[in-house]
Amino acid sequence: MADYRITTTKTGLLLPYESIPIPLPLLRLYLVSRKDSVDYDEYDSAVVAAYSEEGAVTCPIDGLEVASERHAEYWRADNLEVQQLGVATEGTPPGLVLASFNAG
């Protein structure tokens, strides 16, 4: 069995591989907005915590595993604009943070 150890550049000490912290991908906050006109009883935008723009676009906005058919007809990747707002704080779970719904 190979001995996987890493030498630090400052001290020259050998460290077990498992003790080196591996950074996790950053969870980012995205503003996802529709490009078309918005009617009553429709979502126009949402703030989403995701690891990528693609993850932000595919995040369910209505609390369901899959967006309802009514929302799916306008909440699709080719009709959405994505803007990164920043990095989420530690402990923020991926998913919907806030949605804007135009109630009629």
The pLDDT of residue 93 is above 80: yes
Selection from 94, 77, 80 nearest residue 29 by Cα: 94
User: What pTM did the predictor assign?
Assistant: 0.71
Instruction: Tell me what pLDDT residue 94 has.
Output: 92
pLDDT in tens, 43-78: 889 999 999 999 998 887 765 444 556 667 777 888
Which stretches of 1-104 are DSSP H helices? Answer: 53-57, 69-72
